[in-house]
Structure 1
Amino acid sequence: MKVIARKGVRVPCENHSRKYITDAKAGVVKESAYYMRRVFDGDLMVVEDVPQVEAVEAVEAKPDAEAPVTTAKRGGKGA
């Protein structure tokens, strides 16, 4: 699971007490009792994986040469 620490908290890693999960960058950890307890206590937050959308090139729309151009005329005073 992917987790990040809440703001202002450093959470020690389960097997590496000198390494920390911080609020600056999310980390991938196993779903152990240690990390689940930290999530339940509010020290860690689970981050949902958001798939990155590929960039799509914008295509300029060109009117068809065969399509007739129509405009709506408004009736009324002053027209």
Structure 2
Amino acid sequence: MTGSRSVVCSMASYWSHVNKYQDCSDVEEKKKDAAIYQEMRREFFISLGVADPDLDAAVVVPYLRACVLPGTEVDRLCESPDAG
């Protein structure tokens, strides 16, 4: 979770596709879990004086857990903000 946005996104996308992750069974639990890691990530980047590249919970969940939030398109969430 301390890697750049592009690294975390690439890994989440890869694992989701290669492992053919299914939808998470307990969506709210996974969102709460992701929120903890989002805060830890934010704190880590702030402590380094580096801009925090926010990550959507739908990217964090497949990175941490072997499932995806229903309706998640990790590749789309990970597109460059400049990719219009």
Which interval holds the TM-score relative to the shorter structure? Answer: under 0.3
| Structure with larger Rg | 1
TM-score under structure 2 length normalisation: 0.19
Higher strand fraction (1 or 2):
1
Higher relative contact order (Cα pairs below 8 Å, separated by 6+ residues): 2
TM-score by length of 1: 0.20
Higher helix share: 2
